[in-house]
Amino acid sequence: MVAITGDSDARTLQGHRQLATNLIIVNSAITAVLMVGPSVGGPTFTETVQKGLHWADDSLVWGMLCTAALVLSIVAAIATNQNKPNDPTETTFRIEVNKNSVIAEVVAPSLTIVYGIVVLTLTAVGFVLGQTPSAADPQSSLELSTSLVKDGDTYSATAKGFTPGEVVKFSWDGGPMGNAPAADSAGSTTLLPIKETALPGTYTLTASGQTSGHTATAKVQVVPSGN
């Protein structure tokens, strides 16, 4: 440990604290950005990223984002605590140079910033690629047994044109739906029964292939039960 006093020491200490503060701010900002997509877009966002990255399940996307946000939050909290002056009223500045403080206040936040940027970049690339339709997408389709239902009615949704044996996840405007059997040898699978409980309105159902990345949509109109 080295103790130094004087004006130059004060400037050095202030510079060190300012650097640590800036790193903490950047860490916190990246943490917030990491959660914007899932918070705003929900399952649709993570499924789009998953499709673009060709991952087996969108839970991997959730896991990647949540883990990164957790790590950055913990490091920012530790760095914030380490960066607090021991005595805010002190007039004599003291610089303590030791391995632990450098790691806690500068090195760790810097590394997590790089980690966060990598995760953000990977997510952005996956999202952009996931929104780009593939040439095979028009072959996929989603057919409903009926497109007009009332509250309490049941119906089915059949996805066609997917890869044989792949998992096809069904979702709608309100979130994920139940699980369907894996696509058969013809690339088809049916989700049934779907019991309608949504308020009157028009909704979009989506079938997403977890291996092929193919998607297909269909609309269903929910009318009041008295109609």
How many angstroms separate the CA atoms of 11 and 187, rounded? 68
To the question of pTM greater than 0.85 for the whole model, the response is: no
Q: At 149, is the pLDDT very low, low, confident or very high (cuts 50, 70, 90)?
A: very high
Q: Is 137 helix (H, G, I), strand (E, B) or coil?
A: helix
Amino acid 8: pLDDT: 61
Q: At 103, is the pLDDT very low, low, confident or very high (cuts 50, 70, 90)?
A: low
How many angstroms separate the CA atoms of 124 and 36, rounded? 12
Residue 93 has pLDDT above 50, yes or no: no
- DSSP for 7-75? HHHHHHHHHHHHHHHHHHHHHHHHHHHHTHHHHHHHHHHHHHHHHHHT-S-THHHHHHHHHHHHHHHHH
Residue 2 has pLDDT above 60, yes or no: no
- Contact predicate 93/8, CB 8 Å: no
> Which of 227, 212, 103, 109 lies closest to 164 in space, CA to CA?
212
Secondary structure tally for the chain: helices H, strands E? 5, 8
Tens digits of residue pLDDT in 19-75: 778 888 888 899 999 989 888 888 888 888 988 888 877 889 999 999 999 998 888
- Contact predicate 186/203, CB 8 Å: no
Tens digits of residue pLDDT in 164-196: 899 999 999 878 888 899 999 989 999 989 999
More confident call, 114 vs 94 = 114
Amino acid 94: pLDDT: 44
More confident call, 226 vs 214 = 214
Beta strands 175-176 and 215-223 are: unpaired
CATH topology for 137-223 is: Immunoglobulin-like (2.60.40)
The residue extents of the domains of the chain are 7-131, 137-223
